[in-house]
Amino acid sequence: MKTIHQVLGGKALGIVSIKPDALIYDALVIMAEKHIGALLVLEGDHLAGIFSERDYAREVALKGRSSRTSLIKEVMTTDVITVSPHNTVEECMALMNGKRIRHLPVIEDGKVIGILSIGDLVKETIAEQEAMIKQLESYIQG
């Protein structure tokens, strides 16, 4: 099974982030433009939190806040679960499933080096399974 470092190497989109004092509206614009479901909230190199579509639904839409006047730091998730580049795809899938989360920031030496979505991990798992099937077919035929 591949490590997260290997998976990050194949991702086209780098780190997309926003500052805690930014407007929620600005985060939504970025997320729409990049076709992503979450943004890392960074203060310099420090991970301050994560802002996701789920945060928007629960903390803005359902509570009647305005995305044009409320700040990210008021609604972001601050208790962020992270992984290292040495974790495996399997470990991250289990973590995401167990914690019911969809995004995992990747931290190395205290710095954010990437973010994984559940889609990234599913894509990698499918690719590994397809490779295994081809190997088994080749073995059976050979």
Interval 114-138: pLDDT, tens = 999 999 999 999 988 888 898 888 8
Domain tally, the chain: 1
Residue indicated by tokens 């903390």:
59
Q: What pLDDT score was predicted for residue 137?
A: 87
Angle formed by the axes of helices 89-99 and 118-141, nearest 10°: 130
Q: What is the pTM of this model?
A: 0.87
- Give the tokens for residue 12: 């086209």
* Averaged pLDDT score across all residues of the chain: 93
Give the DSSP H/E element, type plus range, for residue 127. helix 118-141
Give the DSSP H/E element, type plus range, for residue 91. helix 89-99
Longest dimension (CA), the chain: 65
Domain hosting 99: range is 4-141
CATH code at position 127: 3.10.580.10
pLDDT in tens, 33-87: 999 999 999 998 899 999 999 999 999 999 999 999 999 999 999 999 999 999 9
